[in-house]
Structure formats: structure tokens, C-alpha cells
């Protein structure tokens, strides 16, 4: 990589010690150029406007302007890929992280604790910065125009047979850009639903710890982390999240959490959830694959469609990363391809049809 094509990074961090460490790690990579440093969110926004970096690394808790406010300003006026680098693990600070991700930040990485194996955190940090730089961010995810929907032989909305006392079960999967997308989908679905809803989001510890509670406050749905052995039939009206680091599957009408090997470098895996839903509930399943990098979930969505369920993939225009949904479309797994604002209402319509309401 030539000097002219170096990745230009702006570091925004109020701690001088941490800021120097981040800059040192970035400067150790010959393909990266640290073009600026800011000690607070307001200065970070100013430098982002002036320097137009390729990536911003952003702390959450800063004076004058928080990381959430800085994210909102940057994404509203000069969209730039943002990597949140945070050590905050209490509930309030985690909520701020989710708010920033929902506002357009691309990914989050924990700050080094000093207990990691030598070079481990540095490698993860550099990889995250380079990954984030490849994302083509937009002014505001919810500001995109509707009307980009494309229909691919939609499944009929018919009254579903009862399985374990349920006529419908919803499955959702997302990765990069997922916090905001899941919030938008659930916010536009009536609460409570008559059926169970399950979702997988690629978000690791410690940042996944309070996500269910944040999503509940945002959407009005009852949201909880999955617990091994829970009976699916008792979860109607609840949204259930796969815990970070554990696969979630449905077996014989009960939740099963496992530490089985990763799939597509992911645990939890969307494929694992979707395939188990297809096996257990067949035509009663309504599933949507949302924004995300990679291909996790595509095969699972195909399994749902092959079992007679209804399937949706988020369209390219409204995806932060059109990776997972694209793979599903290429497999022929998506019965419908819809922009994000239309997915929640479409899923609600499919559920109502299976439940025999509003036909």
C-alpha cells in the first residue's frame, strides 16, 4: 500500500494515556496514518469535519459532548465509519453504546485491560479498524427512501397448523448494523405479539449483557435473554435473545443453549437458530435476515423457506452491510426483499395471517 492510500484514522478519546496507546498501536501498522487526535466529543466532531478521515475511533464517556452525541453529529453531517472503543460495562454506559450503534456507529471493541495475551488486543484493534473502513456508511439509516422493495415469489399467507399450541414463530438474525435494524423492526410490530420471537445478534461480551433490556425500553416489547430448557409454548408475547457466546436452538419444543463450535466464525449463529425453527415449526415460521457482514443466516433462511415458512431479507439500500442478506438472496432463500422500514409491518402481517387475525 502506498503512502497516498494509507488508511486515515482520527482518534477521539479523553484519557491521554489511552489515546496515546491507541495512536501507538495504529502507528505501528504501515498501512495506517493517524491524522488527528481529539480529547473530547466536540473536538472530535470538529476534526472529523475538517480532516474527513476514513475511520473514527470513538470513546463513549467524554466531556463537552458524549460519544452518542458525537456519533449523531458525524452521521448526520459528514458520515464516517465509526469504531466505538469503550471500557464501560455498567448498564447505563452499555445503553449509550447501543444508542451509538443505532445512530450509525459500525462496531464496538472493548479497551485493553492489560490482562490479554501479548499482542492479542492490538491485533483485534487493527483488524476492527480495517474492517470498519470497508463499510460504506450513510447519512442516517432511517432517512433512506422507501420503494426499493423487490418481491421474489412470496409465500401465501395461510392459517398455519398448530404446533405445540403455536400457529406462528418469528426468527430474526443480524450482525453489523443490527442493533438499529432490530430496534426498527420490533418498534414497527405490535406489542405484545401472540407468538414467540427469537433473534440472534452478533455482539460479544461484555457489550451484549444489557442489550435485551435496552431493546425492551426502545420497542415496548418484553425482551429477555434465552435460558436453557425454557418451553417455547410459554414464550408467546416475548422476544428472546440468544446470549453472547452461546448457540440458541429449539429442540422438542424447548430452548437449547450450547457451546458447540462456531459457524461462519459466529457463536451464536443465525443458521443454528433458523434451521432449528424450520425443523420444529415448518410453515409456521416467519423469519427475516437483516444487515450484517458474512453469510451467517443465509442457509438457515433457505431451510425455513424450504419447510414452507415465510422469509424476508433486508434490501441493499437500507443495509449497513449487504452481506448476509445478499447471500440469502443469491441462495433463493428470500421470499421477499424489503427496505428496513417495511420489514416489521410485513412480518406482523404474516403473523396475523397465521393466527387467523385480520384476514
- Residues forming the active site: 175, 202, 296
Residue with cell 414497527: 188
Write the CB contacts of 184 (distance below 8 Å, at least 6 apart in sequence): 141, 142, 340, 341, 343, 344
| CA diameter of the chain | 63
Place of cell 432517512: 143
Q: How far apart are CA 106 and CA 345, in angstroms?
A: 25
User: Are the CB atoms for 206 and 322 separated by under 8 Å?
Assistant: no
**Cα gap 61→245, rounded to integer Å:** 26
Euclidean distance between CA atoms 42 and 44, whole angstroms: 5
Which of 138, 55, 149 lies closest to 103 in space, CA to CA?
A: 138
Going by C-alpha positions, the residue among 287, 290, 278 that lies closest to residue 311 is: 287
| Cα distances (angstroms) measured from residue 134 to each of 104, 317, 320 | 14, 16, 11
Taking the C-alpha atoms of residue 42 and residue 53, their distance in angstroms, rounded to an integer, is 16
Q: What kind and span of H or E run contains 224?
A: strand 222-225
27-53 in b/e form (b: 16+ CB < 10 A) is eebeebbbbbbbbbbbbbbebbeeeeb
Cβ of 256: how many Cβ atoms within 10 Å?
18
316 closest CA partner among 107, 148, 138: 148
Amino acid at each position: 500500500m502506498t503512502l497516498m492510500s494509507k488508511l486515515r484514522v482520527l482518534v477521539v478519546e479523553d484519557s491521554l494515556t489511552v489515546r496515546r496507546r491507541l495512536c501507538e498501536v495504529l502507528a505501528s501498522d504501515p498501512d495506517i496514518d493517524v491524522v488527528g487526535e481529539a480529547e473530547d466529543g466536540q473536538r472530535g466532531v470538529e476534526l472529523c469535519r475538517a480532516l474527513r478521515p476514513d475511520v473514527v475511533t470513538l470513546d463513549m464517556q467524554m466531556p463537552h459532548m458524549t460519544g452518542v452525541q458525537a456519533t449523531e453529529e458525524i452521521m448526520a453531517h459528514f458520515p464516517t465509519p465509526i469504531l466505538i472503543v469503550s471500557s464501560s460495562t455498567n448498564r447505563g454506559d452499555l445503553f449509550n453504546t447501543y444508542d451509538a450503534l443505532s445512530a450509525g456507529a459500525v462496531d464496538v471493541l472493548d479497551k485493553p485491560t492489560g490482562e490479554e495475551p501479548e499482542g492479542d488486543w492490538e491485533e483485534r484493534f487493527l483488524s476492527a479498524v480495517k474492517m470498519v473502513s470497508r463499510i460504506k456508511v450513510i447519512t442516517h439509516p432511517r432517512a433512506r427512501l422507501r420503494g426499493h422493495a423487490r418481491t421474489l415469489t412470496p409465500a401465501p399467507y395461510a392459517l398455519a397448523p398448530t404446533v405445540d399450541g403455536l400457529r406462528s414463530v418469528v426468527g430474526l438474525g443480524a450482525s453489523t448494523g443490527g442493533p438499529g435494524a432490530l430496534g426498527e423492526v420490533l418498534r414497527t410490530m405490535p406489542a405484545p405479539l401472540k407468538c414467540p420471537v427469537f433473534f440472534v445478534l452478533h455482539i460479544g461480551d461484555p457489550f451484549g449483557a444489557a442489550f435485551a433490556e435496552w431493546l425492551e425500553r426502545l420497542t415496548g416489547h418484553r425482551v429477555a435473554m434465552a435460558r436453557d430448557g425454557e418451553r417455547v409454548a410459554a414464550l408467546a408475547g416475548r422476544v428472546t435473545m440468544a446470549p453472547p457466546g452461546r448457540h440458541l436452538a429449539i429442540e422438542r419444543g424447548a430452548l437449547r443453549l450450547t457451546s458447540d463450535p462456531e459457524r461462519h466464525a459466529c457463536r451464536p449463529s443465525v443458521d443454528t437458530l433458523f434451521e432449528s425453527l424450520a425443523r420444529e415449526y415448518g410453515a409456521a415460521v416467519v423469519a427475516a435476515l437483516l444487515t450484517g457482514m458474512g453469510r451467517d443466516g443465509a442457509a438457515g433462511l433457505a431451510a425455513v423457506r424450504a419447510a414452507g415458512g415465510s422469509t424476508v431479507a433486508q434490501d441493499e439500500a437500507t443495509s449497513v452491510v449487504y452481506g448476509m442478506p445478499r447471500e440469502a438472496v443469491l441462495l433463493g432463500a428470500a421470499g421477499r426483499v424489503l427496505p428496513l422500514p417495511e420489514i416489521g409491518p410485513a412480518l406482523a402481517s404474516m403473523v396475523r395471517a397465521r393466527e387467523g387475525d385480520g384476514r
